[in-house]
């Protein structure tokens, strides 16, 4: 198939590279000339395991190319995916400016039938607005269909998620469009769920909100474990063994962050209120998530007494491991909390240091080149992101380098008994 993907950000680039890998001819379109030039020169703007190899391999095979021209992409393709940003607005609703702009640009250059696919995460009824916009601005009344095909990519394993998906959701009432989408996804061995467009759009927001609910549930439970002397890890194991519940997303920690969950939950709340069916449960999910960080901060203050002038080491800055994404990262929020209270913060992240530096997200932080360097003379260590390399660090050397061996494990990476045997004063989440 000949496919255009408008938007070469996280979703667009991963989708384009994976489609090319299975044999489609893919044109990725982006209005950032520097990004297009960099991608054509083999420079990948984000870190995602396996992505760089896929891009380089398929550019070399001429199955993947990058351009700044929407007209070129639409003319040369049978299917046009829209994968542009949908940022949050102040009230939590979604800013659809980029979607509307792309729909207008497609309409202006559309000369013959195309399937237009909403890949970006959008509120329900967006596909209808896209179709209305294309009809309004296309002066020659070209036939087309708009399809909803939400993405379910997890940063850190997005390539695997796209190549081996749990399911593929396609929302459309057009047999012609569905036949074409079947060809697009024919190489992927996964069940295809065909729904109406509105249901497909709701599935993405509903799925992310439910996963966030699981995280907030286990975090609320962690507070009860701390108050009663129970172990949240054992409780989560017991709950997760029930097949109706499952163990995934039942890991107590500092709360969810990143570019999806906070934005999608806020958007779903705004959507529900706009249609007159307020989703009050999700408001509590947000509150629990905020309280989790506040509880963690209180534990630090109770232990260290005064944070001013304290030397605090922080391991992890990205919102999760295996990515360089620092958007809405709880780790970043914590670092800034420490700095505001006058602490001297030294931080290290295997992939996120450069992002923090280039975006100036933590003014006053000192960025180290290694985990061991970060803990030198520290009075406390905070583990904020569970990168595997932190579990492999020589803890005896960490103990030796620290001024006072106090560890606040925000992701329950370490075993409490082992840490105490090594001489650390150890605090986890929901663990005695």
Active site residues: 260
Return the H-helix or E-strand segment holding 304. Answer: helix 280-304
Instruction: With both helix axes pointing from N to C terminus, report the angle between 126-137 and 97-109 in degrees, rounded to the nearest 10.
Output: 40
What is the Cα–Cα distance from 414 to 39, expressed in whole angstroms?
A: 39
CB 245 within 8 A of CB 239: yes
Fill in the DSSP letter of residue 94.
Answer: B
Query: CA 410, CA 293: separation in Å to the nearest integer?
Result: 9
DSSP 38-68: HHHTT--SS--TTHHHHHHHHHHTTSEEEES
Task: Quickly count: other Cβ atoms within 10 Å of residue 389's Cβ.
Answer: 12
Q: Which of 47, 35, 55, 45 is nearest to 349 (CA)?
A: 47
Which residues are CB-contacts of 62 (< 8 A; sequence separation ≥ 6)? none
- Could you give the count of Cα atoms lying within 13 Å of 23 in the half-sphere of its Cβ? 7
Phi, psi of 138 (to 5 degrees): -90, 115
**Backbone torsions φ then ψ of 406, nearest 5 degrees:** -115, 125
- What is d(CA 223, CA 287) in angstroms, rounded to the nearest whole number? 14
Distance separating alpha carbons of residues 223 and 172, to the nearest angstrom: 44
∠ at Cα 220 (215, 224), nearest 5°?
140
Three-state DSSP state, 244: coil
Q: Of the candidates 72, 69, 76, 71, which has an alpha carbon nearest to the alpha carbon of residue 25?
A: 76
Query: Exposed, middle or buried by CB within 10 Å (0-12, 13-18, 19+), for 76?
Result: middle
CB 297 within 8 A of CB 337: yes
In a 13 Å sphere around the CA of 412, the CA atoms on its Cβ side amount to 18
d(CA 202, CA 200): 5
């Amino acid at each position: 198939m000949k496919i255009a993907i408008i938007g070469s950000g996280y979703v667009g680039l991963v989708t384009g590279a994976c489609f090319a890998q299975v044999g489609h001819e893919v044109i990725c379109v982006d209005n950032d000339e520097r990004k297009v030039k960099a991608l054509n020169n083999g420079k990948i703007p984000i870190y995602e395991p396996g992505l760089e190899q896929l891009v380089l391999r398929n550019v070399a095979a001429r199955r993947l190319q990058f351009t700044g021209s929407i007209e070129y992409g639409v003319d040369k393709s049978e299917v046009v995916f829209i994968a542009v940003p949908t940022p949050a607005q102040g009230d939590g609703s979604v800013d659809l400016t980029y979607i509307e702009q792309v729909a207008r640009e497609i309409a202006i250059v559309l000369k013959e039938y195309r399937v237009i696919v909403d890949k970006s995460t959008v509120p329900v009824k967006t596909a209808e607005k896209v179709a209305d916009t294309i009809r309004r601005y296309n002066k020659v009344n070209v036939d087309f269909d708009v399809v909803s095909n939400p993405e379910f990519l997890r940063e850190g394993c997005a390539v695997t998620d796209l190549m081996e998906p749990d399911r593929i959701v396609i929302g459309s009432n057009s047999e012609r469009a569905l036949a074409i989408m079947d060809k697009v996804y024919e190489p992927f061995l996964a069940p295809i769920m065909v729904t109406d467009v509105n249901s497909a759009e709701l599935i993405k927001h509903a799925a992310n909100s439910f996963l966030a609910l699981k995280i907030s549930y286990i975090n609320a439970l962690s507070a009860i474990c701390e108050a009663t002397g129970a172990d949240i890890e054992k409780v989560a194991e017991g709950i997760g063994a029930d097949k109706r519940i499952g163990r995934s997303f039942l890991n107590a920690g500092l709360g969810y962050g990143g570019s999806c969950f906070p934005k999608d939950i806020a958007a779903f709340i705004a959507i529900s209120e706009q249609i007159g069916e307020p989703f009050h449960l999700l408001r509590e999910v947000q509150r629990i998530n905020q309280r989790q960080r506040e509880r963690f901060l209180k534990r630090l203050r109770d232990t260290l007494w005064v944070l001013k002038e304290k030397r605090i080491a922080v391991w992890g800055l990205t919102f999760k491991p295996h990515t360089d994404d620092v958007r809405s990262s709880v780790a970043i929020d914590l670092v800034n909390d420490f700095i505001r209270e006058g602490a001297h913060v030294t931080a290290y992240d295997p992939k996120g240091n450069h992002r923090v530096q280039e975006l100036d997200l933590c003014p006053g932080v000192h960025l180290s080149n290694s985990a061991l360097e970060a803990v030198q003379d520290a009075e406390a260590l905070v583990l904020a992101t569970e990168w595997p390399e932190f579990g492999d660090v020589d803890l005896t050397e960490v103990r030796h380098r620290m001024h006072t061996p106090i560890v606040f494990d925000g992701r329950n990476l370490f075993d409490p008994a082992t840490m105490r045997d090594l001489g650390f004063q150890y605090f986890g989440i929901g663990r005695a």
